[in-house]
Amino acid sequence: MIVINDNENSNSQPVIPEPNPNDPTGSIGNYVWLDSNRDGLQNEPPENGVNGVTVNLFDINGNLIQTTTTNDDNNENPGFYLFENIPDDLSSRYTLEFVAPEGFTFTTQDNDPRQFIDTDSPIDSDVDPNTGRVTIGPITRFLPEGIDQLVWDAGLVPVKPGSTGTPGDDKLIGTRGNDHISGGDGNDTIVGRGGNDTLSGDKGQDVIKGGAGKDVLDGGTGRDIITGGGGDDTINGGGGKDRLVGGRGNDHITGGGGDDRINGGRGSDTLVGGAGHDDFLFTKGSSFRHGDVDVIEDFEVGADLIKLRGFGAIDPQKWFHRAVASGILSDSDQGVVLSPKTGGTLVIEDVELDQLSGDNFHLL
């Protein structure tokens, strides 16, 4: 949860102790704000400070040493944080990590055109938009021993419908409306939330979640994990070895070029493996529900595999012969039909029963 305060006092800083030359420690901190005009500079009113943002402090070895959240300063201005009693010897070096709230990312980094000697700009955003991090220190590199660095700031901007990620690893979260988001290069996490969203991972190993609406999800190149969620979704894994899950709606899922794992989930789904050796997963309780009809359009005998989870670890050859004998597996004009006793139907198009054997199935 983030809180944008409506206090109209001017920007200020937390009250901190006076430096003690006999105690070689300092403080690190300052400000997180909503960058309304997206220019990377702190030229918004004081009420644009954002409370409730998590800030983590790591040492030179990557160990988490302190965590805090932004809050009001002593003048009730929002958006401030402070780490105290931080060793500032010459060997000390620290990394700050800001955790963007859901629906936000970070503004442009280091956008103040002025040059500063032995310190950082106090009016811009310092964090890398791709990671939410900035490395600082040693503290004495900038300031005398025992003095504090209150210049490390982070500007937040909402993720826009139509957003495009950076070449790095992005976290892009849409709105409750209809979003168009492209991840760009890098290993991205893209979440559509509500609405009918179009989400593209582009390059990299992406995680894409569609949410409640009727979504179009495309992994692009790379090894992606894509989940449609609710709604009737269109999912395309693209190149790479992808893991694709339809969710609760009537989905159309295409694996693409790699060795994919495709799970339609609930609803009547159309599944296309594409090139490669693909696994089609059906789980008892979510797949094969009464009234659902799933279709595999391009099952390749000898390359693809149908996995049945929740039916017991049965020898596939024995199961196959029993299924044929009992009519659970049968031929039709459309292809082979699997009609388990739990309900629901799977149609394996353009395949005849005498082409199949237990080798084409795996029971879990």
The answer to the question of residue 257 being in a domain is: yes
- Closest to 74 (Cα-Cα) out of 146, 7, 172, 165: 7
Tens digit of each residue's pLDDT (9 = 90 or more) over 25-46: 778 899 999 988 888 889 889 8
Give the residue from 131, 158, 185 where a domain finishes: 158
Higher pLDDT: 137 or 170? It is: 170
Q: Are residues 49 and 184 in the same domain?
A: no
The answer to the question of residue 276 being in a domain is: yes
Q: Are residues 242 and 126 in the same domain?
A: no
The answer to the question of residue 163 being in a domain is: no
Higher pLDDT: 122 or 291? It is: 291
Q: Which domain holds residue 320?
A: 171-363
Q: What is the pLDDT at residue 85?
A: 83
| Separation in Å, CA 108 to CA 34, 41, 126, 183, 253 | 12, 9, 8, 17, 37
Q: What is the pLDDT at residue 87?
A: 76
Q: How far apart are CA 153 and CA 180, in angstroms?
A: 29
Q: Are residues 175 and 149 in the same domain?
A: no
DSSP 321: H
Q: Are residues 150 and 7 in the same domain?
A: yes
Q: Are residues 242 and 329 in the same domain?
A: yes
Q: Are residues 323 and 348 in the same domain?
A: yes
Instruction: Tell me: pLDDT of 104 over 80.
Output: yes
The answer to the question of residue 164 being in a domain is: no
Q: Are residues 305 and 333 in the same domain?
A: yes
- Spatial neighbors of 113 by CB under 8 A, at least 6 apart, are none
Give the residue from 112, 136, 158 where a domain finishes: 158
What b/e sequence results for 112-128 when a residue is b if at least 16 CB atoms lie within 10 Å of its CB, and e otherwise? beeeeeeebbbebbbbb
The answer to the question of residue 165 being in a domain is: no
Q: Are residues 73 and 101 in the same domain?
A: yes
Q: What is the pLDDT at residue 142?
A: 42
197: its two tokens: 């969203």
- Closest to 171 (Cα-Cα) out of 214, 228, 124, 209: 209
Q: What is the pLDDT at residue 292?
A: 94
As a whole number, mean pLDDT of residues 288-308 equals 96
Higher pLDDT: 248 or 9? It is: 248
The reported pTM is 0.60
Q: What is the pLDDT at residue 10?
A: 37
Tens digit of each residue's pLDDT (9 = 90 or more) over 192-234: 877 899 999 999 999 999 988 999 999 999 999 999 988 999 9
Q: Are residues 116 and 190 in the same domain?
A: no
Q: Are residues 120 and 180 in the same domain?
A: no
Instruction: Tell me: pLDDT of 23 over 70.
Output: no
Tens digit of each residue's pLDDT (9 = 90 or more) over 78-102: 999 999 888 765 456 889 999 998 7
Say how many domains are in the chain.
2
Tens digit of each residue's pLDDT (9 = 90 or more) over 114-165: 554 444 556 789 999 888 999 886 544 444 444 566 789 999 987 766 677 7
> What is the full DSSP assignment across 231-254?
S--EEE--SS--EEE--SS--EEE
Kindly state the helix (H) or strand (E) to which residue 142 belongs, with its residue range: helix 139-142
Helix (H, G, I), strand (E, B) or coil at 85: strand
Give the residue from 158, 190, 214 where a domain finishes: 158
Longest dimension (CA), the chain: 88
Q: Are residues 125 and 265 in the same domain?
A: no
Instruction: Tell me: pLDDT of 8 over 50.
Output: no
Q: Are residues 78 and 109 in the same domain?
A: yes
Tens digit of each residue's pLDDT (9 = 90 or more) over 304-347: 999 999 988 899 999 999 999 999 999 999 999 999 988 899 99
